[in-house]
């Protein structure tokens, strides 16, 4: 059982702040690191894997520093995002080399077991240059699991995987988490994260925006004010009917036509809208959420 | 405490040098040296001055540093460029072990593709004086390994190690080294020359440079280069540019 701890960590590159005063504790089980592209997820993973020094604050694994401490790699496995591998090796040669570098007693057996775990046994004797994106991802995974680490860090592991590979990797991560390993993976897709991770850490623009199980994160997202644009055959009647309803915080007639609505309770609003329209004899032509993009959800989380 | 060398890193480094197209250049350079030596021999016969000039100006000053540059950047630069060095670094082994293992491969390249061809070229040029080729071969080894250490440090400091390495050779060792006498105190090629002339005997490549200074300076560059490269790798940033 291992615990990664970040204490008031900031990291900047010149004038750019990539990680801003982040404190988090990553314990056993699967944790998802969720955030839009450029939020600082890769920087955080580099900090957690000893490949970057924090500008301020501390990062440690069970009390041991990660920076300039190669001994931590006995218990840490890292799956980097970059695809570059030793192209001229076969998959098996690559994983065996990783096992040897870890000083394992039987590198061949450890490599074979690890390759079987990621279902790459059939392609293990082809050179890596011939691998598809998904296969590269899996052979990287095999190389980082070969020494049976207690901590596994994966940077955007689902990128470039087809649905079947995705399901398989999710299953694998769940198993590793259930075995008591500390597994952390980054992603910019909420659905991906909540299918695997028990615990979710949200980062936006370098800040730790939210933390909790997926239920808590979902609630934060659904309980927020929702904005919609309605197109109707009688905007003014619709707007006044909406304003009278308690689930609505505001309604505004737009210059270009249509009603802009801000709902405070998404559940009740979605039930009330069709009823209000029918009761007031207004035809609803179109209902468009205006801020469903992930960025706006994150923006909300940050300001909350 | 891990061993000073890692067989796995050595094996991967060998494949890294010869698995790429520029590995072919390593075979071409010694052919150029021995070929030109043969041409000189045919044109001027066994001439001591011509032999010295060829081995010094072409061998020590051009072939040796180029072989060292190609071999060293071949084992380090591509992995740093594409980030795949993280697979070596995310392991519980000393960074100095990694550097030393990679440099052993680069040094072996210097031996095979620079020092031995120098010996061969020396024998082609002056068949009656085997000591000349031997002296230059030894100079090639010491100078070549020092260049390897220097270029290793360059490879971990900048992504443009090959270009900067070539500029350094051209401007400092070549141009300024020819114009300013004082450069000999800080010139790997001239230290190699001093060692070569001492071993060969009876020739003067670099006047006013003691052999002991040359040996000491070469050793300092080798040790410092390896040490600093390892230190730099201890603090390797995987995502320097997010």
The answer to which of A166-175, B7-16, B232-241 has the lowest mean pLDDT is B232-241
CA distance A110 to A116: 10
Per the CB < 8 A criterion, the answer to whether A75 and A151 are in contact is: yes
Q: How does pLDDT run across B32-60, given as a tens digit for each residue?
A: 999 999 999 999 999 999 999 999 999 99
Q: How does pLDDT run across B164-216, given as a tens digit for each residue?
A: 999 999 999 999 988 898 999 999 999 999 999 999 988 999 988 999 999 99
Q: Do A74 and B90 touch (CB under 8 A)?
A: no
Which residues does chain B have within 8 Å of residue A73's beta carbon, measured at their own beta carbons? Answer: 90-92
CA distance A114 to B233: 28
CA distance A304 to A224: 9
- Burial degree of B204 (CB within 10 A; 0-12, 13-18, 19+): exposed
- Burial degree of A106 (CB within 10 A; 0-12, 13-18, 19+): exposed
User: What pLDDT sits at residue A303?
Assistant: 58
State whether residue A136 sits within 8 Å of chain B by CB.
no
| Reported ipTM | 0.89
State whether residue A51 sits within 8 Å of chain B by CB.
yes
Name the minimum distance, in Å, from the CA of A32 to any CA of chain B. Answer: 20
Which residues does chain A have within 8 Å of residue B92's beta carbon, measured at their own beta carbons? Answer: 70-74, 102-103
User: What pLDDT sits at residue A38?
Assistant: 85
Which residues does chain B have within 8 Å of residue A75's beta carbon, measured at their own beta carbons? Answer: none
State whether residue A97 sits within 8 Å of chain B by CB.
yes
CA distance A81 to A42: 8
Q: How does pLDDT run across A229-242, given as a tens digit for each residue?
A: 999 999 999 999 99
User: What pLDDT sits at residue B238?
Assistant: 78
Helix (H), strand (E) at residue B34: helix B23-44
The answer to which of A196-205, B61-70, B103-112, B120-129 has the lowest mean pLDDT is A196-205
Q: How many CB pairs under 8 A join A and B?
A: 89
Tell me what percent of the residues of chain B surpass a pLDDT of 70: 98
**B110 three-class SS:** helix
For A197: left if phi > 0, alpha if psi spans -120 to 50, otherwise beta; the answer is beta
Which pairing describes strands A199-204 and A207-213: parallel, antiparallel, or unpaired?
A: antiparallel
Q: Do B84 and A86 touch (CB under 8 A)?
A: yes
Range A249-258, long-range pairs (CB < 8 A, 24+ positions): A249/A225, A254/A229, A257/A231, A258/A229, A258/A230, A258/A231, A258/A232
Which residues does chain B have within 8 Å of residue A49's beta carbon, measured at their own beta carbons? Answer: 90, 238
Q: With 60 as the cut, is the pLDDT of residue A293 above it?
A: no
Name the minimum distance, in Å, from the CA of A86 to any CA of chain B. Answer: 7
Span A222-234, average pLDDT:
82
């Amino acid at each position: 059982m291992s615990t990664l701890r970040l204490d008031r960590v900031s990291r900047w590159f010149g004038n750019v702040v990539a990680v801003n005063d982040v404190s988090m504790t990553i314990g056993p089980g699967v944790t998802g690191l969720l955030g839009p592209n450029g939020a600082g997820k890769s920087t955080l993973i580099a900090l957690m894997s000893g490949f970057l020094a924090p500008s301020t604050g501390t990062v440690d694994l069970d009390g041991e520093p990660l920076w300039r401490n190669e001994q931590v790699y006995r218990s840490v496995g890292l799956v980097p995002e970059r695809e570059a591998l030793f192209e001229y090796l076969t998959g098996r040669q690559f994983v065996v080399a990783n096992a040897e570098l870890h000083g394992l007693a039987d590198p061949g057996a450890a490599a074979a077991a690890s390759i079987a775990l990621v279902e790459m046994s059939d392609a293990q004797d082809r050179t890596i240059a011939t691998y598809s994106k998904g296969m590269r991802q899996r052979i990287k995974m095999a190389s980082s699991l070969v020494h049976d680490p207690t901590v596994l860090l994966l940077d955007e592991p689902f990128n470039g995987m087809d649905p079947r590979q995705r399901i398989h990797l999710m299953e694998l991560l769940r198993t590793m988490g259930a075995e008591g390993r500390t597994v952390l993976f980054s992603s910019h897709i909420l659905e991906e994260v909540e299918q695997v991770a028990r615990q979710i850490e949200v980062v936006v623009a370098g800040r730790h925006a939210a933390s909790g199980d997926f239920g808590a994160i979902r609630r934060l997202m659904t309980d927020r004010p929702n904005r919609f644009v309605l197109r109707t055959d009688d905007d003014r009647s619709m707007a006044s009917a909406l304003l009278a309803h308690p689930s609505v915080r505001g309604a505004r007639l737009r210059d270009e036509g249509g009603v802009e609505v801000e709902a405070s309770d998404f559940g009740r609003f979605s039930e009330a809208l069709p009823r209000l329209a029918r009761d007031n004899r207004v035809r609803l032509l179109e209902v468009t959420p205006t801020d469903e993009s992930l960025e706006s959800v994150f923006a909300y989380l940050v300001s909350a | 405490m891990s061993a000073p060398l890692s067989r796995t890193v050595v094996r991967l480094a060998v494949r890294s040098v010869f698995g790429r197209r520029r590995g072919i250049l390593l075979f071409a350079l010694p052919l150029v040296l021995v070929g030109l030596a043969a041409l000189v021999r045919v044109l001027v016969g066994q001439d001591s001055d011509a032999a010295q000039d060829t081995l010094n100006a072409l061998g020590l000053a051009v072939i040796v540093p180029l072989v060292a540059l190609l071999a060293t950047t071949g084992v380090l630069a591509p992995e740093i460029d594409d980030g795949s060095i993280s697979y070596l670094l995310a392991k519980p082994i000393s960074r100095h072990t990694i550097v030393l293992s990679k440099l052993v491969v680069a040094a072996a390249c210097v031996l095979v593709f620079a020092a031995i061809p120098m010996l061969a070229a020396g024998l082609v040029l002056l068949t009656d004086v085997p000591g000349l080729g031997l002296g230059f071969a030894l100079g090639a080894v010491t100078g070549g390994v020092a260049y390897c250490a220097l270029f290793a440090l360059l490879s971990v400091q900048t992504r443009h190690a090959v270009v900067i390495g070539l500029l350094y050779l051209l401007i400092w060792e070549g141009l300024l080294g020819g114009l300013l006498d004082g450069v000999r105190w800080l010139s790997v090629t001239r230290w190699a020359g001093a060692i070569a002339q001492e071993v060969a005997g009876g020739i003067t490549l670099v006047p006013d440079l003691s052999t002991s200074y040359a040996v000491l300076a070469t050793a300092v560059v080798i040790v410092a280069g390896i040490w600093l490269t390892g230190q730099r790798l201890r603090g390797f940033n995987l995502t320097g540019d997010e």
